[in-house]
Amino acid sequence: MRALAEFIMRGRMQAIVVVAGCAALPMLFWLSAAAGSLVLLRRGLNDALGVLVWAVLPALVWWYFGDPRTLLVLLGSFGLALLLRNQSSWSRVMLCSVGLGLLYAWALGMVFGEPIAALATELQKVLPDMLSDAYQQLSVDEQARLGALLAPVLTGLLAGLLQITTLLSLMLGRYWQALLYNPGGFGLEFRSLRFSALPAMVLLMGMLLGPSLGVQVAMLAPLCSVPLVFAGIALVHGLVAKNRMSRFWLVGLYVTLVLFMQLIYPLLAVVAIVDSLFDFRGRASRDDDAGPANGEG
């Protein structure tokens, strides 16, 4: 990864080759977004614009052929990278990713509205078998409302996946920047990610009350969960680093997250909410040797 980052930052032509080539290849748009984010984070918008436009061109071609994901993730990553460069606040980046997820949901609904509706219809047919007695205890109106929520929630889940991809691409770009110019800086930044009580409660309300506020607002539930889960992961990283614990705990976290997603994912969100109230990491002194991840502090 370091060799690729060094190649990207070697010159404008090398950066264009990576961002344009990865954007043109199937399933590598995340790497193009990370490379473009690295250039933008290090060089700024004016210097990076001549590189980023070459990533957008193949993304527009993908959209023309019916796949908007490449363009959405690229533009989303670049926008959040610009915000991170200007404000150096991961909590604000995470909060803004919710709005970005809403834009993703709108675009996905425009392009994939019919397939999502068809999938929701098929899911509605199997709901009685999936929920068993619980479904039978619902009234006719409640069953109809549950069926109406399927399409927005599915759209929100797809948008949430793109939201996660966007954030991971940005993190990879920020990690590359720290690796080249200030090793250890990204770890310090990420481990300090924490929401104060008010934003955490707003995200919680979006998760819990979204489906009850309206059919279209239901897509807020998966989108609001993403920042909290990242904050929960950052908390675990912070506690492991502060207490000088073995990396085995981090490996275990990611293994269980993959194997038991339905259990660990909401648990991380809950832990992040509790941390916003009690601050488990405390006011630990910062490592003066690391500094900001951009290497310019």
DSSP-derived secondary structure letter, 286: P
Tokens of 152: 């927005």
| Contact criterion met (CB below 8 Å) for 189 and 90 | yes
Helix (H) or strand (E) holding 99: helix 90-131
Helix (H) or strand (E) holding 265: helix 261-278
> In this predicted structure, what is the pLDDT of residue 287?
46
Distances (CA, A) of 196 to 80, 186, 187, 193, 272: 20, 21, 20, 10, 10
> In this predicted structure, what is the pLDDT of residue 286?
46
Q: Angle at Cα 34 formed by Cα 33 and Cα 40, nearest 5°?
A: 85
Average pLDDT of the residues of the chain: 89
Q: Dump pLDDT digits (tens) for 81-101.
A: 999 999 889 999 999 999 999
DSSP-derived secondary structure letter, 293: T
Average pLDDT over residues 125-133: 76
Q: Outline where 133-219 has alpha helix (H).
A: 133-136, 140-181, 185-191, 197-213
Predicted confidence band of residue 292 (pLDDT cuts 50, 70, 90): low
Q: Tell me which residue of 75, 74, 67 sits closest to 23, measured CA to CA.
A: 74
Q: What is the dihedral of CA 199, 104, 31, 233, to 10 degrees?
A: 30
> In this predicted structure, what is the pLDDT of residue 293?
64
CB-based contacts of 226: which residues, under 8 Å, 6+ apart? 94, 97, 98, 101, 160, 163, 164, 167
* Per-residue pLDDT at 230 exceeds 60: yes
Entry pTM: 0.91
> In this predicted structure, what is the pLDDT of residue 20?
96
What size, in residues, is the chain?
A: 297
Task: In the chain, count H helices and then E strands.
Answer: 13, 0
